[in-house]
Structure 1
């Protein structure tokens, strides 16, 4: 009986180990793909790092705020509208309101990085 129990534990550990290794590999590949899509090199690495820090991508942020390009005025207008519509006191969703805030923060970060690039300053995080 103990022999079978040990075999089950070993088999379960192997399965979990393989799944964990596959998950790490997929995460690494996704990170590399995100860096490549962001332009590769230093800019791509900075963009991938910003995505990891904020846990939201620029593309996802644009979709959440319903904007097609990085237009600060349109972003601000849509942010204010979505933030107010999702106010919990007005029957909205705190979760959705949080997503709107995170999306705005991520786009503001991207706009600041683009502005720093234009003025010749670099972001050294």
Structure 2
């Protein structure tokens, strides 16, 4: 009996909390739209989501130049990826991987071979 009452209290409390959260979120959106913050936030989110790594940024991440051979790029990639896999940052590791992907497509676009 006590467990049933406790379960009901938890469910009711969760529902009340969820409604309060939704109401607070709606009020925050209403306040933000009055000041233009909502549109700016939305624009920043879209800009971040659609941001594609440039070839120049990829070269900076891997520490290579335009004249660097693909084999050398792969060596740099392997070293950086492994360093961050062992004791580094997943964020940096993913940036290194994205940089390699970006340069791989750039090299393929130029008609150069990219052995995998």
Shorter chain as denominator, the TM-score bin is 0.5 to 0.7
- Displacement of 1:13 in angstroms is 3.2
Cα distance in 2 between the residues matched to 1:82 and 1:98? 11
| Unaligned residue ranges in structure 2 (runs of 5+) | 1-28
Larger Rg: 2
- Alignment correspondent of 1:97: 93
The higher relative CO (CA closer than 8 Å, separation ≥ 6) is in 2
| Unaligned residue ranges in structure 1 (runs of 5+) | 1-8, 28-51, 117-125
Cα distance in 2 between the residues matched to 1:54 and 1:15? 26
- Displacement of 1:54 in angstroms is 7.2
Q: Please list, as runs of the form range in 1=range in 2, the aligned pairs for 1:1-125 lying within 5 A after superposition.
A: 13=33, 15-16=35-36, 20=40, 55-71=52-68, 72-87=70-85, 90-115=86-111
The alignment's TM-score, normalised by the length of structure 2, stands at: 0.53
The alignment's TM-score, normalised by the length of structure 1, stands at: 0.50
User: CA-to-partner distance for each residue in 1:9-34, whole Å, 9 max, x for gaps?
Assistant: 999535417x64xx58xx6xxxxxxx
Q: How many residues align?
A: 80
Structure 1 residue ranges (4+ consecutive) displaced by more than 6 angstroms after TM superposition: none
